[in-house]
Structure 1
Amino acid sequence: MKKKQNISALLGMSQENLALILQVSRSQIAMYEVGKRSLPVDALEKLSTMLSVIQNKTLDTISKDMNSNLNIQFLKNQLQRNKHQQLIVDNKISALIKKQNATNSAKKVISYLLNETPKIKKNKIIVLKTIETKTQNKVAQNNAVILLQLEIKKEVLAFEEKLLQKKLQSEN
């Protein structure tokens, strides 16, 4: 083994942690890495075992399989969350359309009552005009903008679902 190589970095840990594991001082590790000092035999045995673990391809395969399984589970969870979000958006769109239809129906009825019914008393006309104004305000509350936002969100979620499915297929 080359002494110039930074062993603690190769093992993915700090010199302090490596020293704790090998039961030596941090300065001993530092001096060993630059080639100015050797380590006790028991520390060298532990170090050689640790290095062999890193080079063991079987462990790498197990690690890759574990990562792959974690990725697959994550993607499945994301797909499930995405489908749930799509259902929520669909429900919001349906509710908004239903609300718009109800508002439009109320507008038509009020308009009919105001224009077609002869001899309405003034107090009833005032009530109908008030209801008509409230109904028009409801329509003017950016329902079209909200509907557009929901439709865009639905399309984005559908695109995200396709990406997640593609990624999930590539993981399998």
Structure 2
Amino acid sequence: MALLLEVSRSQLSMYELGKRGLPLSARQLLAEIVEFLQSEDKDIRLLPYLIEQEEAHKKQVEQELRDNEDQLYMIDKKVAALATRYKSNLNIIGIVDYLNTRPNIHEKIDEELLGAFAVDAKVSLQKSGLAELNALRRKQEQLELEKILLGSALQKAVRTLEEMRNKHFSSDC
């Protein structure tokens, strides 16, 4: 700014602190700059740059939305697979317990095989049980909420761009 007003940086600093005045030519130029910054003409002149920035913002939000949808698809698959495995392991444990309480069936089935099924199911539940399933569901919910937020941001960007283009078009006429 000092360079623009053709004064030294220390002179501008002293002016900003109210300790010194500026030369008349610098004050006139500063007044014109302030007037321009407060005018609608500034908005019209900057509109093409603002439109460009808003278009870049819109593209970024669109990419984030696509990324979110990809992540949501992957987590949906993980949740479905883990939920199926979780239910299967619970069913295996339940069936083994049931068969162990039935003496007439219990004699016909290999106890070691039943025990192996139960141990495998319990180990699987310990490694990836309800806690992991709930963690994935929370992540899934976060992604769904993020999708709503990004959708809203995209709608806002589209509306803003439309308003800017209309304003730019009307200023050209």
What TM-score range do you get, normalising by the shorter chain?
A: 0.5 to 0.7
Q: How many residues align?
A: 150
Asked if residue 36 in structure 1 is aligned to residue 21 in structure 2, the reply is: yes
TM-score w.r.t. the length of structure 2 is 0.60
Contact 1:53 1:59 in 2 (8 A): no
3-state DSSP of counterpart to 2:107 = coil
Asked if residue 62 in structure 1 is aligned to residue 62 in structure 2, the reply is: no
Task: Report what 1:100 is aligned to.
Answer: 86
RMSD over aligned CA atoms reads 3.9
Q: 1:98 and 1:27, CA in 2 relative to 1: closer, same or farther beyond 3 A? A: same
Q: Spell out the pairing of 1:1-172 with structure 2 (5 A cutoff).
A: 18-20=1-3, 24-30=7-13, 34=18, 36-38=21-23, 54=37, 56-104=42-90, 107=93, 116=105, 118=107, 125-126=111-112, 128-141=114-127, 143-172=129-158
User: How much identity, in percent, do the aligned residues show?
Assistant: 24
5+ residue gaps, structure 2, are 159-173
Task: Report what 1:15 is aligned to.
Answer: none
5+ residue gaps, structure 1, are 1-17
Higher helix share: 2
The structure whose RCO (Cα within 8 Å, separation 6+) is larger is 2
TM-score w.r.t. the length of structure 1 is 0.60
Task: Report what 1:9 is aligned to.
Answer: none
CA distance in 2 between partners of 1:159 and 1:119 (Å): 53
Q: 1:112 and 1:28, CA in 2 relative to 1: closer, same or farther beyond 3 A? A: closer
Task: Report what 1:5 is aligned to.
Answer: none
3-state DSSP of counterpart to 1:36 = coil
